[in-house]
């Protein structure tokens, strides 16, 4: 009991119970622990506070509550009764604004058993809720897993199906990679594979034959790719029938076929090559078009001509290109062709450089009117001033320029140069000389040929009526219709057309009447022979009369002596060109020549 507390007076005066009065609560607690006393009467908040501080919670039980009718009591002097209201108001205020609560919370509540019990309850509740939550989560998860499992097994099934499909596609793609899509024949990849397998075998011999169709892309350009494909299919069907025994046919590139025969004797292969060419040359009818093909065959022997795929294919190409160049049906590879091929490739390279470096120069050879001996015009003849080899004649580089298609940029330069030159000459001499330019047959069928001519004409500002284009009969071999269209377009500009080297071409004369031509240039081989025999003379005569019948002018090329000149006069040839009158001259010499001639 607190000494002098109000409680003490009640115990002493009213209840008369034995008690000890302590002036220090700690002494009372010590006595309680030592069982000297049984009970402590004290403010429960204070007691809880002390119990917790001294870590005695649970050992001493705070048991009795609400011993007093009020939790708080205060006393006021009887002299100041108005303080009662004041105190009550203040207490209400303290409770209302939370001061009491906060003091209680910070000094008593959190240290009390009630607090711990509440905490325990909360923990239990939390534990229970958590356990319950976890249980629910587990149930939900179990359900999700169950569903996923069933979905997964569906996916696994689908995956297996897709995998199967992919494998099928892979086989399909692999097949496609080894098959030519158009002809269905094994392609270059398959050939590479088969050759490498063959090389692994010892003591094997084989013959390889490559067939390439001439100007196939022109068929595609002229008739369209659909017709091109029909042609390739037809050819492959024909070739399939002539594959040698133990042989295989490949379609290595668009228009290139390779036969491999193992081992087979050369004679049989020669026979096969003939059959291949025959099949190739038989006309093909596709959508109302009659298409005629030609091609060259290259042959190599294994192991003589190469020990790996690349080497074999390179030499096969070389033999095939040689066949095409030399217009032979079949060419068997020889070592020297390899060197020639390298030389040609080198030539192509240096030609390309020469165009960039402008190493070309034009010579001009006068063409004279036979009646008057006046200058009609000049033929532009190109020369290559090689930095090491010096002046190179066209026969050395024109075939290579055509083969590499460098003739196209080269001719663009020739056109601009010669147009400018003739314009200057005609202005200077107040003349109307013509300029003849040799146009390669591969150039004239280019899509942009006419556009290029228009551009150069407008750039130079030359009147087109003084221009003559010299073309050879080979122009009409491939696509006669396209060539005719082009010639008409040129004629519409006012450009004149001459057939160069007339009489040496292979095509029939019947086309002459349908073509928009102006001149025939009789090849110098006829002029050379003209005075040798009457037969030769009458041959030249018939060419002249044929030309005149068609209302064309005749130009005799390569006139070297007076005898030829006299005979040509007799034949009423219109113009002559040759060393007798002048060799081709560079521009300065030509100006002197004109000056002398026109004095």
Q: Please identify, using beta-carbon distances, which residue of 407 and 530 lies nearer to ligand C2E.
A: 407
Query: Which region among 65-73, 104-112, 178-186, 496-504 touches Mg ion (by CB under 5 A)?
Result: 496-504
Q: Is 398 in the site for ligand C2E (CB under 6 A)?
A: yes
Residues 6+ apart with CB under 8 A from 108: 45, 48, 49
Residues between 458 and 487 that touch ligand C2E (CB under 6 A): 470
CB of 200 to Mg ion, least distance (A): 55
Residue 172 is inside which H or E element, if any?
helix 113-177
Q: Is 30 in the site for ligand C2E (CB under 6 A)?
A: no
Is residue 78 classed as helix, strand or coil in its secondary structure? coil
Tell me which of 210, 426, 440, 519 binds ligand C2E, using CB under 6 A.
440
Give the Cβ contact number of residue 380 at 10 Å.
22
CA angle, 191 then 216 then 180, to 5°: 30
| Closest to 529 in 3D by CA, of 541, 540, 542 | 540
CB of 503 to ligand C2E, least distance (A): 12
CB of 381 to Mg ion, least distance (A): 7
CB 354 within 8 A of CB 409: no
Q: Is 501 in the site for ligand C2E (CB under 6 A)?
A: yes
Q: Is 501 in the site for Mg ion (CB under 5 A)?
A: yes
Q: Is 500 in the site for ligand C2E (CB under 6 A)?
A: yes
Tell me which of 382, 466, 499, 568 binds ligand C2E, using CB under 6 A.
382
Query: Which region among 47-55, 351-359, 420-428, 578-586 touches ligand C2E (by CB under 6 A)?
Result: 578-586
Residue ranges in 357-493 assigned as alpha helix (H):
394-403, 407-429, 441-444, 449-460, 475-478, 480-493
Residues between 321 and 380 that touch ligand C2E (CB under 6 A): 365, 380
Is residue 439 classed as helix, strand or coil in its secondary structure? coil
Query: Which region among 209-217, 346-354, 532-540, 551-559 touches ligand C2E (by CB under 6 A)?
Result: 551-559
CB 28 within 8 A of CB 40: yes
Tell me which of 349, 492, 579, 586 binds ligand C2E, using CB under 6 A.
579
CA distances from 142 to 137, 152, 280, 524 (A): 8, 15, 75, 101
Q: How far is CA 561 from the centre of its chain?
A: 60
Tell me which of 44, 112, 315, 438 binds Mg ion, using CB under 5 A.
438
Residues between 517 and 536 that touch ligand C2E (CB under 6 A): 524
Site size for ligand C2E, by CB under 6 A? 24
Q: Is 414 in the site for ligand C2E (CB under 6 A)?
A: yes
Residues 6+ apart with CB under 8 A from 207: 260, 261, 262, 263, 264, 266, 269, 299, 300, 301, 302
Which chain residues interact with Mg ion by CB under 5 A?
Answer: 438, 470, 500-501, 557
Which chain residues interact with ligand C2E by CB under 6 A?
Answer: 365, 380-382, 393-395, 398, 407, 414, 438, 440, 470, 500-501, 524, 557-560, 577-579, 584
């Amino acid at each position: 009991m607190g000494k002098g507390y109000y409680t003490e007076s009640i115990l002493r005066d009213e209840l008369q119970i034995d008690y000890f009065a302590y002036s220090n609560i700690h002494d009372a607690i010590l006595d309680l622990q030592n069982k000297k006393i049984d009970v402590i009467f004290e403010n429960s908040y204070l007691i809880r506070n002390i119990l917790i501080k001294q870590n005695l919670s649970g050992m001493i039980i705070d048991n009795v509550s609400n011993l007093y009718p009020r939790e708080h009591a205060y006393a006021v002097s009887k002299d100041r009764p108005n303080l009662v209201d004041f105190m009550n108001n203040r207490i209400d205020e303290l409770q209302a604004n939370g001061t009491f609560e906060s003091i209680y919370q910070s000094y008593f509540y959190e240290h009390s058993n009630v607090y711990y019990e509440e905490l325990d309850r909360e923990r239990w509740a939390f534990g229970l809720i958590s356990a319950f939550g976890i249980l629910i989560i587990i149930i939900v998860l179990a359900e999700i897993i169950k569903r996923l499992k069933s979905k997964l097994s569906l996916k696994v099934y689908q995956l297996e199906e897709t995998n199967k499909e992919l494998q099928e596609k892979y086989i399909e793609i692999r097949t496609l990679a080894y098959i030519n899509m158009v002809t269905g024949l094994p392609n270059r990849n398959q050939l590479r594979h088969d050759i490498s397998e063959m090389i692994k075998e010892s003591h094997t011999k084989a013959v390889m034959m490559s067939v390439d169709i001439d100007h196939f892309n022109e068929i595609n350009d002229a008739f369209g790719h659909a017709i091109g494909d029909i042609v390739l299919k037809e050819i492959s069907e024909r070739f399939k029938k002539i594959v040698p025994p133990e042989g295989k046919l490949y379609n290595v590139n668009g228009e290139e076929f390779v036969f491999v025969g193992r081992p087979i004797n050369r004679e049989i292969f020669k026979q096969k090559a003939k059959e291949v060419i025959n099949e190739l040359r038989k006309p093909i009818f596709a959508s109302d078009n009659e298409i005629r093909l030609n091609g060259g065959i290259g042959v190599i022997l294994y192991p003589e001509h190469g020990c790996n795929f690349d080497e074999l294919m390179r030499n096969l190409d070389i033999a095939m290109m040689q066949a095409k160049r030399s217009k032979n049906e079949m060419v068997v590879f020889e070592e020297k062709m390899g060197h020639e091929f390298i030389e040609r490739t080198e030539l192509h390279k240096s030609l390309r450089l020469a165009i960039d470096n402008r190493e070309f120069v034009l010579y001009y050879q006068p063409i004279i009117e036979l009646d008057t001996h006046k200058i009609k015009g000049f033929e532009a003849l190109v020369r290559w001033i090689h930095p090491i080899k010096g002046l190179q004649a066209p026969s050395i580089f024109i075939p290579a320029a055509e083969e590499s298609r460098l003739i196209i940029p080269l001719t663009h330069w020739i056109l601009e140069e010669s147009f400018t030159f003739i314009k200057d000459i005609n202005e200077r001499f107040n003349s109307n000389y013509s300029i003849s330019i040799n146009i390669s047959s591969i150039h004239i069928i280019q899509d942009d040929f006419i556009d290029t001519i228009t551009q150069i004409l407008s750039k130079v500002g030359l009147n087109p009526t003084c221009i003559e284009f010299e073309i050879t009969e080979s122009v009409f071999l491939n696509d006669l219709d396209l060539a005719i269209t082009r010639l008409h377009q040129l004629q519409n500009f006012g450009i004149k057309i001459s057939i160069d080297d007339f009489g040496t071409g292979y095509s029939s004369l019947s086309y002459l009447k349908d073509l928009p031509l102006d001149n025939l240039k009789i090849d110098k081989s006829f002029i050379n022979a003209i005075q040798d025999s009457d037969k030769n003379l009458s041959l030249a005569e018939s060419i002249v009369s044929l030309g005149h019948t068609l209302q064309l002018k005749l130009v005799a090329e390569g006139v070297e002596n007076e005898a030829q000149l006299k005979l040509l006069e007799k034949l009423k040839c219109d113009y002559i060109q040759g060393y007798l009158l002048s060799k081709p001259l560079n521009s300065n010499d030509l100006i002197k020549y004109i000056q002398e001639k026109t004095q």
